[in-house]
Chain A
């Protein structure tokens, strides 16, 4: 680890100011990606702004319109036990990493990082959630901009996630054997006005919506509706754990299983 200063603001406004005043500052959520990067000297921020002391970024509640609101600083463990209104989301959170990761890692941190194999981006995109930041609201469809890239400005902090709760949903993860991140995972969410299908782990461009599957499932929400639908391996991640063609195949298998298990 290189030397850095650490700040522990307790108000969001202070965090934003500290971030915009920094030349090379970094936000510290649960630190499950940043701390290992620091320890390996792969990142060298001059200032860490720790978000865990900001109460207004924590907690889970239900909005008047029924949406599930989760503070960006809420840990995976808290979502797993506290977001019962959205069972597919609690199941997803309960299966991220191991207990140590779930007790430190936060939903906001995961989304800001946008790891192409992370779980939460699939839930946010499939749910059509809204990402609320220190300066604006961003629709999920506008937020994810490819591997480790998001619509966030340099001095912008995710404060809250607002999830419409679908009629039925399920997250089906096929784990990479070593990291147990998603080799391929699919989040399927059925709303009154249609079905959204988001895929993580598979694409070189990060999380994406499988529009053909969405169309098929919107007219018939059943595994059979996916018969004959395939994805091409082009643009899929190709590494020692699986070829692009294998990942493309798994997307179809996981989607089918997610539909079958949705409730």
Chain B
């Protein structure tokens, strides 16, 4: 029987009432009295020397309050990077300055050069057009391999080269890996591109900043996935504002997918300008600006080699990746191709020897950073593509080859420095075979062929790593932040709860699922619990939401705080019932004395806490409010198996997805309906990457896919109905909920399944096609068939 409340119930999303009725409170809905508007003048060349910026005519335009340029920011810090990588040779990465507004050079199309603040948006835009720029255009650095050649034009003149770092992992394994390739029975090699993507959340970025002359306090309302992180980075590293004088609020946020993790120049600008002008300052990104200023994702070029022994056991794996950083280091950019990618290269398999090399490269393109999955899709894609290619070369069933090499004993320490706590990869494949009806594939293929279409089946297994932790370890790996989470549980006198979490919901449904957890623990109705997030003024220092960490880390913090509440409430209940604390039991919102019929209700205890007339004041404080910080012992490791069936039209190259099934192991599940939705969305984005989305720069660094006319987002009719299942559950062993995280799984598991399916379809039609780079657009598939 499905539950109707608490953990495991598919409770309807309470936040949807306001989202679906237009009563949400998004950052662009916030308008402050006396607010002025900023328009950024952005570079339309990819690389150029900024000889002069003449703002005199613009400053004299109607409504203009002030025109800012890079020189106004010479006294403040640049946009910081939150992760420092140490390379193969023990050297720290090259880390260029990232000014709020361009100083000396522009380095990508969209790089902000000047900012006009005016009474109206249109006045600001009019004045920006009157700024006279003298830019000496320089050759653009676009291709990563060319960027690393001797004598290549440098993106940053003060750096040694365009190489950010040359990372080897695990460097000590390199010789043994190379030796294993020498003696391998079979080696499969694949060169591939993990295509650059633009996140495109439905809500573009917005920043509204305010400054109080009376108190000296600054407030920034911004579309962020992690307002505390923005407060720390912007306050401490850019503007020099201590946290107690800076409040950052991220109200309702319309999707992020990673692109709203990072601290952006526009946020710092608005906060700076609000103080300088003593006026609230607002910026609302246009969609066109979003294409050239939101951090992009992926953009890896990889050569992967898989060595197998004579029995088809994986013997060694070796990869060589170029990872695009873009023109500057976005907040967590250096960590994505390294610690979030190299550590995942074992996948679900017992490959004993692995070596990963990553060269991170500066180019004259928009900075690249985390995008749904962040490093893990890149790892999974190359691994699952090379396994599929190996199976075809060896003439063995792709799923059988995977099963043969599965890790089956846990905990399992991989050769890439992580330890999987739990998993059952055969179970998810068994479930996949059932829900995808793999037995029926041959009949479906015949039916497609009768219609003149090629049908293919692609499978994929993935491992995820969510809730990156613990903090002391990630500190050793170069993180400049902790990766705990926090929660404050405030019980009100009449029994309702206000739970303040450091996690941030921007579509995930935390207000519903987090309330279910607390409701289950206390045994009260979820309606009595309010989840509050997104405001540094009312929640403890939190690290926000990304990397599928919220329920695993934020949920665990909330559990710990709620446990403290229950412990204290039991003391109060014991006093009220004149019983021993050890005898108090809490069930269904009632405290009772074990073995008796004595009980008091939850509301009686909470009232006593705040009206402490009959209360053990000599032993415990009044009130019922607790905070917990939770720092996990390890990542969590969700896993799963996906199957995709496609039809390919051999005359046009058009691929349609006919069936898609996902069997995931997320450990325990709080709200199955929300988990279904997260998986659906992830699969949709994975299909977008596999078939549709391509961020394309030309050789001059001009963004060719700069609007929805050319950047293809997945639409409803691009995806089939999905068969999703998360009944295979191996609970996480090191967090109190046994949860693992589900937000990115779909985006990780989907692209290789789709591409494997298309290759299968083409080969079934007699085409000797072994690989096509994503997106598998009709023209690319048709072109591959012509070879």
Chain A contacts to B: CB under 8 angstroms: 1, 40-41, 174, 177-179, 181, 183, 240-243, 246, 249-250, 253
Contacts and interface: CB of A to CB of B under 8 A. Distances in A.
Nearest to A117: B709
B600 to A, nearest CB: 59
Contact of A253 (B651, B712, B779): B651
Given A177-B777, A246-B783, A249-B782, A240 B710 contact: yes
Contacts of A240: 694, 696, 704-705, 710
A1 B777 CA distance: 35
B652 interface: yes
A179 B710 contact: yes
A196 to B, nearest CB: 23
A243 B779 contact: yes
A148 B453 CA distance: 37
A241 B694 CA distance: 10
A125 to B, nearest CB: 23
Contacts of A253: 651-652
A178 B711 contact: yes
Query: Which residue, of A40, A178, A242, A250, has the highest number of chain B Cβ atoms within 10 A?
Result: A178
A242 B652 CA distance: 11
Contacts of A40: 288
19 contacts: A40-B288, A178-B705, A178-B708, A178-B709, A178-B711, A178-B712, A178-B713, A179-B708, A179-B709, A179-B710, A240-B694, A240-B705, A240-B710, A241-B710, A241-B777, A241-B779, A243-B779, A246-B782, A246-B783
Nearest to B704: A240
> SS class of chain B's interface: helix, strand, loop or mixed?
loop
Given A240-B694, A240-B696, A246 B710 contact: no
Interface in B222-245: none
Contact of B779 (A41, A178, A181, A246): A246
Given A177-B712, A177-B778, 5 more contacts: A240-B694, A240-B710, A241-B777, A246-B653, A246-B779
Interface residues of B, number: 25
Contact of B692 (A177, A181, A249): A177
B127 to A, nearest CB: 13
Contacts, number: 46
B122 interface: yes
Contacts of A181: 709
A183 B122 CA distance: 36
Q: Which 7 A-B pairs have the closest CB atoms?
A: A178-B712, A242-B779, A177-B712, A179-B709, A253-B651, A246-B779, A178-B710
Given A178-B709, A179-B710, A242 B694 contact: no
Contacts of A178: 692, 705, 708-713
A241 to B, nearest CB: 6
A75 B182 CA distance: 69
B350 to A, nearest CB: 40
Contacts of B122: 1
Interface in B634-677: 651-654
Contact of B778 (A41, A179, A242): A242
B97 to A, nearest CB: 32
A174 B288 contact: no
A41 B653 CA distance: 37
Nearest to B715: A180
A141 to B, nearest CB: 29
A181 B652 CA distance: 16
A148 B129 CA distance: 27
B307 to A, nearest CB: 36
B648 to A, nearest CB: 14
Contacts of B691: 177
A183 B712 CA distance: 13
Interface string B60-74: 000000000000000
Nearest to B710: A178
A242 to B, nearest CB: 4
A174 B783 contact: no
B747 to A, nearest CB: 19
Given A177-B712, A178-B712, A250 B652 contact: yes
A177 B712 CA distance: 6
Contact of A243 (B696, B704, B709, B783): B783
A98 to B, nearest CB: 10
Contacts of B777: 177, 241-242
A250 B125 CA distance: 43
Contacts of A1: 122
Contacts of B653: 246
B186 to A, nearest CB: 36
Given A179-B709, A241-B710, A174 B652 contact: yes
A150 B88 CA distance: 62
Of residues B653, B654, B696, B778, which shows the largest number of chain A Cβ atoms within 10 Å of its Cβ?
B778
A41 B782 CA distance: 38
A243 B782 CA distance: 11
Contacts of A179: 708-710
A41 B129 CA distance: 11
Interface in B705-733: 705, 708-713
A1 B778 CA distance: 36
Nearest to A39: B286
Contacts of A174: 652, 654, 778
A177 B708 CA distance: 10
A183 B710 CA distance: 11
A181 B708 CA distance: 12
A246 B786 CA distance: 10
Which among B705, B709, B779 has the highest number of chain A CB atoms within 10 Å? B779
Contacts of A250: 652
A249 B288 CA distance: 33
